[in-house]
Amino acid sequence: MELGNIVADTVLLKAREGGGGNRKGKSKKWRQMLQFPHISQCEELRLSLERDYHSLCERQPIGRPPRQLATNCTQRLEQGPCKELSQELTRVTHGYLSMAPFADYLNSIYFNRFLQWKWLERQPVTKNTFRQYRVLGKGGFGEVCACQVRATGKMYAFKKLEKKRIKKQKGEAMALNEKQILEKVNSRFIVSLAYTCETKEALCLVLTLMNGGDLNFHICHMGRAGFPEAQAVFYVPRSACGLEDLHRERRVYRDLKPGTSRWMTTATSSSPTWDWLCTCPREMIAGQLPFQQRKKKIKREEVERLVKEDPEEYSERFSPQACSLRSQLLCKDPAERLGCRGGSAREVKEHPLLKKLNFRRVGAGMLEPPFKPDPRAISNSHACLEDLGPRHASVMGRFTALGNLIAGWKQT
């Protein structure tokens, strides 16, 4: 068994590094797979595609370097003497580009090439589109393995949701909802859904592959359990930004760990959108959940009572500002909690613990992380599957309707 793991790890590492040679993990037939169709094959797409300026120019991904360049430019404008003019100049520029220049673009060869790329994106996706490698994690509905797109060599996480288990658990609504949310959300702080496909036994989600492992693994394996506060402060605002991006899509994050009492807020049914965020810094810094004692079991009923009634105690590892953030997010009165007073994400970002952070640079991924995991490590995660999956054939059809999804700028 150990030898099998070593072989599987070696094969996966080789795939992640490009597999050697000039193809960088691509199939021998990659040119044929990515061959552009004749423009006449794209006429139906030309008629069905949204052809407004906002959809074609503002919402399309531009790649990470241009995004960082735009962020730097915006910061310089806002810090300079012309900061009052930057928003007006942006509005005027977009207004001009959306008129005659945009009309010229729609009639140009560049728009034809855009249509050809879109045609390639919409080609059917099957399990044979990918090479599958070792299993990274297992859960109640299936398993997650690493995979590689044959045509491009790009690595992803391949999540299989077994139909029999899904049907037994009646998880079709949750699966479809998750898939639809991930289609729409384009956030650096939420994994992207790149493809969906279906096999005889499973529904498959192809997601961003997080090579560094999950936070829980590193929290428990950093020597002394938990992170230094400065390191935790690096991760907490990213969680807040992820929630904010969901809110922009009018999605409410109801509960981080449904049914797990130590993750419960004091009034889960009232305002569970931001309150779960208070548990993250607690576990990151202390290395354990609220109201938890090492090597001591506490009954669920007692934990629920503690969550609702007792104030939480903080160790010397928490600074006064960290305690303040926790206590405001954990306020017993939901109406008084941070993030629930009408200001939403702005209230959280303006807390003294986070106020000094430049959230524009956070959003563009331009801050250097305090800790970088070993990129060659394989077993640094405790991956598990969520309760996802359609039940009926009609739902399964909707689940795999858009087999190839556009990836956001954060992935490029």
Pairwise CA distance, residues 132 & 103, whole Å: 44
Asked if residue 390 lies in contact with residue 381, where contact means CB atoms within 8 angstroms, the answer is no
Is 60 exceeded by the pLDDT of residue 388? no
Residues of the chain with CATH 3.30.200.20: 124-211+378-404
What integer pLDDT is reported at residue 50 of this predicted model? 87
Give first-to-last CA distance, the chain, whole Å.
36
Range name among 7-21, 108-122, 204-218 with the lowest pLDDT average:
7-21
- Class of domain 215-363 (CATH, top level): mainly alpha
Q: 54: which 2 tokens? A: 């906002």
Q: Please report, for residues 138, 154, 389, the alpha-carbon distance to residue 213 in angstroms, rounded to integers and kept in the order given.
A: 14, 18, 24
**CA distance readout (Å), 175 to 13, 134, 135:** 31, 24, 21
Report whether 169 contacts 141 (CB < 8 A): yes
For 307, the token pair is 């969550």
- Residue ranges, CATH 1.10.510.10, the chain: 215-363
List the single range of 195-209, 289-303, 389-403 with lowest mean pLDDT. 389-403
290 DSSP assignment: T
Find out whether 272 and 264 touch, Cβ atoms under 8 Å. no
Q: Which long-range contacts link 396-401 to residues 24+ away (Cβ below 8 Å)?
A: 396/198, 396/203, 398/176, 399/175, 399/176, 399/179, 399/196, 399/198, 399/203, 400/125, 400/196, 400/197, 400/198, 400/203
The pLDDT score that the predictor gives to residue 43 is: 92
Written as six digits, the tokens of 393 are: 């054939």
Q: Which residue has the higher pLDDT, 199 or 313?
A: 199
Residues 283 and 216: their CA atoms lie apart, in Å, by 9
255 is catalytic: yes
CATH 1.10.167.10 domain position(s) in the chain: 36-121
- pLDDT computed for residue 96 by the predictor: 93
Q: What is the pLDDT of residues 253-305, one digit of tens each?
A: 665 544 444 445 444 434 445 655 666 776 777 776 666 665 567 676 766 67
Parallel/antiparallel/unpaired status of strands 193-198 and 155-162: unpaired
Answer yes or no: are the C-beta atoms of 287 and 220 closer than 8 Å.
Answer: yes
pLDDT computed for residue 101 by the predictor:
93
Fold of the domain built from segment(s) 36-121: Regulator of G-protein Signalling 4; domain 2 (1.10.167)
Q: Is 155 helix (H, G, I), strand (E, B) or coil?
A: strand
Give the global pTM.
0.74
Which entry of 255, 275, 310, 374 is annotated as an active-site residue? 255
Structure tokens at 26: 């691509």
Q: 144-148, 181-185, 379-383: which has the minimum mean pLDDT?
A: 379-383
Q: What is the mean pLDDT of residues 371-378?
A: 74
What CATH topology corresponds to 124-211+378-404?
Answer: Phosphorylase Kinase; domain 1 (3.30.200)
pLDDT computed for residue 157 by the predictor:
92
Angle, CA of 196, 194 and 182, to the nearest 5°: 85
Edge-to-edge strand ranges of the sheet holding 130-139: 130-139, 142-149, 155-162, 202-207, 193-198
Q: Which tens digits make up the pLDDT trace of 35-77?
A: 999 999 999 999 998 888 888 887 776 666 676 677 777 777 7
Q: What pLDDT is recorded for position 100?
A: 94
Whether 359 contacts 367, CB under 8 Å:
no
Poorest-confidence range of 95-104, 313-322, 361-370, 382-391?
382-391
Percent of the chain clearing pLDDT 70 (strictly above)? 74
Average pLDDT of the chain is: 77
Lowest mean pLDDT among 240-244, 312-316, 407-411: 407-411
Q: Does the annotation list 168 as a binding residue? A: yes
